[in-house]
Amino acid sequence: MGPIDPSDGLDSQHLEVFDNPEDWAAFSRGVDATNLWESQVLVRGMHCAACALALERALLSVKGVEAVRVSAASGRASITWSSALTRPSVWMAAPLALGYQLVPASDAFETGDSRQQERLVLWRWLVAGFCMMQVMMYAAPAYFSQPGDITPDIEKLLRWASWVLCLPVVIFSSQPFFSSAFRDLRARSISMDLPVALGIAVTFAVSTAATFEPTGWWGREVYFDSLTMFVFFLLSGRFLEQRLRSRTAGSLGVLMQRLQASVARQTASGGFERVAARRLRVGDVIRVMPGEAFAADGTIVAGETLADEALLTGESRPVTRPLGASVIAGSYNLANAVQVRVDKTGTNTRYAQIVALMQRASVDKPRLALLADKVAKPFLMFVLLAAAGAAAFWWNTDPSRALMAAVAVLVVTCPCALSLATPTAMLTSAGLLARHGVLVRHLQAIESLAEIDTVVFDKTGTLTEASMVLRDAYVREGITRAQALQLASSLALHSLHPVSRALLVAAQESGASSRFEVTQVKELAGQGLEGQLAGVGPNGLRGRLRLGTARFCHVQAVASDAMQVWLADELGWIARFEFIETVRADAFQAVAALRNKGFELHVFSGDRTASAQQLANRLGIDPSKVQGDCTPHSKLALMQALQQQGRKVLMVGDGLNDGPVLAAAHVSVAMGLAVPLAQARADFVVPGAQLWVLPEMLAHARRTLHVVRQNLWWAAAYNLTCVPLALAGYLPAWLAGLGMALSSLAVVANAARLAQFKVGR
């Protein structure tokens, strides 16, 4: 669908409703602690790469807009702007002059005018189809009759009838092409609609002239049948393409719109009232009916039910949620009505963090797509010059053929297929992976994932469960077990590492939940925690405390089959804690599948080498490929050594102390939700930490890249074949229109096949 009239929806005067910080916060996220905001919007009226580039230029021209990313494939845009210099109403109004509307992504499925636009597109298509059939009926006698079979007055009548039937096609059905072309000229820009509009205008003008004055230099041939046919084919292609894209690449949007607009909130009198979901506050009690999504993270305070948490876990099986259990925003209530106390709202929920990742991915542009975007505008300039060249070449020989050759060149060439070839396939794959609990942060990573030949695992929290159990604790003389746990948990409170969480649980279960005050706490990734004990501890203990590895605590490691964590002060060790780790149930399946497919497997662990090798033996990983006692820097060095050997490395970690190595890997996967998702450096995030998806991800990435290559070859072959035929005058206008429609439709339909693959055990 071409650009829409701004009067059809929000105009610059009504955009001021988004200037309230509470309203823009619904579709925007703050960037760090600055005045910068990142807003996610849906773009209406955009269908090609040239449109996306024009929109980016319009938005970047607004003072206060720092960065813009627009994806023609997903129809979404990400705008980074300063609240100190501009407001949403200002930058949302900038594209209106070009015929594009920006709608907050949070309201994308709540506005009714989108359905009105879809009906308008359908009406344009129906009018073009009806008129095309009638015009073809009037044109048929000219194709099948012999000279002299049709009298001049009947021939003139048939031409006049065809001209009348073409008027609705040109005025109504072709209106999006002309509107977009006019705005392009006014903005000194160019999109795919400009050559199409020129082709329609030239064909109609020549045919009209031949109808009224058949003895002119333009000849007596009319092309009303070709005109109506290629308009019909163009509208058919765009309509089907739009439906396919909304069903496949748009599956990300479906996942991002799980929350309903309103919820039933409990009032002071005990009753319930419907309020906007964005008005929820921590402590509110809401009623969630079966079939509804939980609007916030919370705790069930009345009733029990089953919940669908597939977005987080990748498992389609429902999970039991009894009284007192936690529920997460975006999951579905499947069984019974329950009352939920709101614990987290808005951007603080897990669902909001997931949506933020998916929104960024939906506007991401893979390397091949960026190349296609750069080619789009020069390609369109070539189209206009080639059309002019074709007309000039044939003019002296046959003016009528010259005009039709120019029209065929204008219509048949299609950079849309080239620009859609990569992002449509990538978005379709991202949507499929998201439905199985794998979140894609960068679309480029799907392409890179297809090249992987080596997989490196972290151990703790990745191959083993994130939760650990304290097996035993050894303390130095003068310190009790409870005091050691109190000291250790005072430091552990400042960390999200699985060991820290296990210490907190152990301290609470043993009744040692009271803590000492520790200040100036800092965490050294892969080593441990360090802080200053405020005041005097047990047995006169004072000074700085350390909790972590033996090397970090400057103590001598002790032989043991368990994972060891040490607590030490300036005088030496205070306590040694031994933890039992549980291997993930699906680790055996994942490792076996990867090994059978020929991937080289490594383990880099901060734990002792003996412990890491023992786990590797159980999983069937070559012990020589296991390295323990790793710091983040040594992990990075090991990773770089593999890369220097020409290895394409996939790093799989828990995102806690693997930041440098995750960032340096060819592709990286962060398992679980141990750290805020928005801060993860990985290319993929698996919130449910299911390892079995890794072999499936690698296989699907290769399928995706295969489809991308098919699309690119098709787009290139189509243009290289059809353009010479059009230049030579051997391609009629109606066939050019059909070819252009089918070219875009072919790449989208081919990408849609990716959504049919099953990802599962």
Residue-wise DSSP of 396-451: TT-HHHHHHHHHHHHHH--HHHHHHHHHHHHHHHHHHHHHTT-EES-THHHHHHTT
Collapse the DSSP code of 472 into the 3-class scheme (helix H, G, I; strand E, B; otherwise coil) and give the result. Answer: strand
- Per-residue confidence at 169, pLDDT binned at 50, 70, 90? very high
CA distance linking residue 37 with residue 465, whole number of Å = 36
pLDDT one-digit tens code per residue, 366-405: 565 556 556 666 777 777 788 888 888 877 777 767 777 8
Give the residue from 290, 293, 301 showing the smallest Cα distance to 340: 301
In the prediction, which pLDDT does 356 show? 67
- Per-residue confidence at 163, pLDDT binned at 50, 70, 90? very high
> Does 3 have pLDDT greater than 70?
no
pLDDT one-digit tens code per residue, 461-513: 788 876 778 888 999 888 888 888 988 988 888 887 778 888 888 888 887 77
Rounded mean pLDDT, 263-280: 85
| CA angle, residues 667, 668, 673, in degrees to nearest 5 | 155
Region of 536 on the Ramachandran plot (φ > 0 left; ψ -120 to 50 alpha; else beta) = beta
Mean pLDDT score across all residues of the chain: 79
Give the residue from 17, 23, 8, 49 showing the smallest Cα distance to 106: 23
> Does 635 have pLDDT greater than 80?
yes
CATH code that applies to domain 6-111: 3.30.70.100
Question: How is residue 57 written in tokens?
Answer: 């230029």
Give 282-316 as a DSSP string: TT-EEEE-TTPBP-SEEEEEE--EEEE-HHHH---
Residues 451, 648 contacting (CB under 8 angstroms): yes
CA distance linking residue 62 with residue 359, whole number of Å = 23
| CA angle, residues 22, 28, 34, in degrees to nearest 5 | 90
Residues 61, 98 contacting (CB under 8 angstroms): no
Region of 672 on the Ramachandran plot (φ > 0 left; ψ -120 to 50 alpha; else beta) = left
Residues 458, 650 contacting (CB under 8 angstroms): no
Rounded mean pLDDT, 631-653: 88
What is the model's pTM? 0.62
Give 603-665 as a DSSP string: EE-SS-HHHHHHHHHHHT--GGGEE-S--HHHHHHHHHHHHHTT--EEEEE-SSS-HHHHHHS
Residues 132, 37 contacting (CB under 8 angstroms): no
CATH level 3 topology of 438-464+583-689? Rossmann fold (3.40.50)
pLDDT one-digit tens code per residue, 595-610: 999 999 999 887 778 8
- Per-residue confidence at 648, pLDDT binned at 50, 70, 90? very high
Residues 222, 166 contacting (CB under 8 angstroms): no
Question: Between residues 113 and 25, which one has the greater pLDDT?
Answer: 25
In the prediction, which pLDDT does 7 show? 37
**Percent of the chain having pLDDT more than 90?**
10
Residues 735, 411 contacting (CB under 8 angstroms): no
Name the burial class of residue 83, with classes exposed (0-12), middle (13-18) and buried (19+) by CB atoms within 10 angstroms of its CB. middle
**Range(s) within the chain of domains with CATH label 3.40.50.1000:** 438-464+583-689
Beta-carbon count within 10 A of 181 CB = 23
Give the residue from 24, 4, 26, 7 showing the smallest Cα distance to 16: 24
**Range(s) within the chain of domains with CATH label 3.40.1110.10:** 469-580
- Per-residue confidence at 686, pLDDT binned at 50, 70, 90? confident
CA distance linking residue 596 with residue 241, whole number of Å = 39
Question: Between residues 154 and 248, which one has the greater pLDDT?
Answer: 154
In the prediction, which pLDDT does 74 show? 67
> Does 249 have pLDDT greater than 50?
no
Element holding 65 (H helix, E strand): strand 65-71
Q: In what order do the strands lie in the sheet with 649-653?
A: 439-440, 684-686, 667-671, 649-653, 454-457, 600-604, 626-627
CATH level 3 topology of 260-349? 2.70.150
In the prediction, which pLDDT does 53 show? 75
In the prediction, which pLDDT does 2 show? 39
In the prediction, which pLDDT does 655 show? 59
Name the burial class of residue 640, with classes exposed (0-12), middle (13-18) and buried (19+) by CB atoms within 10 angstroms of its CB. middle
- Per-residue confidence at 245, pLDDT binned at 50, 70, 90? low
pLDDT one-digit tens code per residue, 62-97: 998 988 888 766 678 888 898 888 888 889 888 887
Least confident of 70-79, 183-192, 254-263, 672-681: 672-681
In the prediction, which pLDDT does 674 show? 46
- Per-residue confidence at 433, pLDDT binned at 50, 70, 90? confident
> What's the CATH architecture for 469-580?
3-Layer(aba) Sandwich (3.40)
Give CA 543 to chain center in angstroms: 49
User: Most confidently modeled of 18-22, 148-152, 198-202, 576-580?
Assistant: 576-580
Rounded mean pLDDT, 314-327: 78
Residues 662, 638 contacting (CB under 8 angstroms): no
> Does 549 have pLDDT greater than 90?
no
In the prediction, which pLDDT does 455 show? 94
Collapse the DSSP code of 529 into the 3-class scheme (helix H, G, I; strand E, B; otherwise coil) and give the result. Answer: strand
- Per-residue confidence at 250, pLDDT binned at 50, 70, 90? very low
Q: Which residue has the tokens 């039937």?
A: 165
Least confident of 196-205, 270-279, 572-581, 742-751: 742-751
- Per-residue confidence at 631, pLDDT binned at 50, 70, 90? confident
**Range(s) within the chain of domains with CATH label 3.30.70.100:** 6-111
In the prediction, which pLDDT does 78 show? 86
Name the burial class of residue 496, with classes exposed (0-12), middle (13-18) and buried (19+) by CB atoms within 10 angstroms of its CB. middle
- Per-residue confidence at 49, pLDDT binned at 50, 70, 90? low
Give CA 531 to chain center in angstroms: 40
Least confident of 23-37, 335-349, 624-638: 23-37
